[in-house]
Amino acid sequence: MARPRIAVVAVGGNALTREGEAGTYAQQWRNATKVAGAICRLVEAGYRPVLIHGNGPQVGNLSIQQEEGSRLVPAQPLAELVAMTQGAIGHLLSLALHHASTGTLGVVDIVTHVEVKSSDPAFRNPTKPIGPFLAEDVAGKLAAERDWVVREDAGRGFRRVVASPEPKAILEAAAIKELASKGFLVIAGGGGGIPVVRRGRSVSGVDAVIDKDLTAARLATSVGADTLVFLTGASNVFLDWGTPRQRAVAEMTAAEAEAHIADGQFAAGSMGPKIIAAVRFLADGGQQCLITSSRHLAAALAGSHGTRIVPTAGRMPASRRSAAAQ
């Protein structure tokens, strides 16, 4: 078909700064080139990717640097730190994509704002920990000074917690769609997007972190993508994880995925949001969602690996339905 197939691809911040890594530039560059290689396979398979990345480890480090420097220069609000990570990680991924494609891809990183509602219930119950662990007295002082909410976290000290509201609209969606339609590989929505709330005809930054996977689904719908890809540490989605009945899923329908969510099959901080995002994207007209690792992406596109979630069983080839996973 003449119209290119746009695929929104979501990459975790942990894919760039891995567990146990400090997050040096050299570490991030090495990891970014692996992600970029997978994206090039997607381009070769005829897709036009729009890339969205997480920023957990990076915004965490930046928060620490802001606090450590605060006796000398003013710390900036969280929305601004998210914007900084969009610049920094977008820059890194841009160069990695230039490198992996030997300069053949036109890559553009767009600083992206995502509207949330100030009435979102998440603002009444902030749950997302960000930034450094703090001693109780320091945490109390910062909470008083800056109107932070702080909570004890995992016995390791106190941390600031912020709301994780629902992404409602992507302010730069029209520009992203325009560039993707012209053949650019766009990087957008980094860290789930810079959270903003509407006040009349104005928008303001707000202290929150939007789930990157939910923003990915919103972005995919907004730019008319037919495919949504989540690159994860695992090759597949698994059911009954960690039990003797553990098995990889080759393919499931949105309805099956919803039933598994209801059964509590997926972890809240990890696979859960991806499955919820997949279901939303398919309900909004998306054709398929793939969940797999960078390494297995080419095989997943060819249908021989990874987990594919589709709107209804009727739209899947029977051969795939009955195929055993890996």
Tokens standing for 282? 């398919």
Of 175, 234, 261, 299, the one binding its own copies (CB under 8 A) is 175
Of 41, 45, 77, 303, the one binding its own copies (CB under 8 A) is 77
Per CB under 8 A, the segment of 44-52, 62-70, 161-169, 301-309 that binds its own copies is 62-70
**Binding of its own copies by 184 (CB under 8 A):** yes
Of 7, 35, 53, 94, the one binding its own copies (CB under 8 A) is 94
Q: Which residues pair with 195 in a beta bridge?
A: 114
Of 34, 67, 226, 299, the one binding its own copies (CB under 8 A) is 67
* Residue 252 identity: M
Of 10, 36, 49, 113, the one binding its own copies (CB under 8 A) is 113
Q: Which is nearer to its own copies, 30 or 247 (CB)?
A: 30
| Nearest CA-CA partner of 8 in 304, 233, 220, 212 | 220
Phi-psi map region of 102: left, alpha, beta (phi>0 left; psi -120 to 50 alpha): left
| Nearest CA-CA partner of 168 in 124, 229, 224, 119 | 119
From the CB of 115, what's the least distance to its own copies, in Å? 11
Q: Are strands 288-292 and 227-231 parallel, antiparallel or unpaired?
A: parallel
Report the C-alpha gap between 280 and 254 in whole angstroms: 9
From the CB of 290, what's the least distance to its own copies, in Å? 27
From the CB of 226, what's the least distance to its own copies, in Å? 23
**Binding of its own copies by 147 (CB under 8 A):** no
From the CB of 263, what's the least distance to its own copies, in Å? 39
Residue 104, Cβ neighbours under 10 Å: how many? 10
| Nearest CA-CA partner of 128 in 63, 38, 39 | 63
**Binding of its own copies by 44 (CB under 8 A):** no
Report the C-alpha gap between 321 and 305 in whole angstroms: 13
**Binding of its own copies by 69 (CB under 8 A):** yes
Q: Distance between alpha carbon 291 and the CA centroid of its chain, in Å?
A: 12
* Block residue for tokens 């219930």: 121
**Binding of its own copies by 118 (CB under 8 A):** no
* # residues contacting its own copies (CB under 8 A): 59
Q: Which is nearer to its own copies, 75 or 149 (CB)?
A: 75
**Binding of its own copies by 61 (CB under 8 A):** yes
Report the C-alpha gap between 114 and 197 in whole angstroms: 8
Site for its own copies in 196-225 (CB under 8 A): 196, 201-205
**Binding of its own copies by 4 (CB under 8 A):** no
From the CB of 21, what's the least distance to its own copies, in Å? 10
Residues labelled as active-site residues = 13-14, 128, 212, 274
Distance of CA 192 to CAs 44, 62, 84, 89, 114, Å? 27, 16, 13, 13, 8
**Binding of its own copies by 140 (CB under 8 A):** no
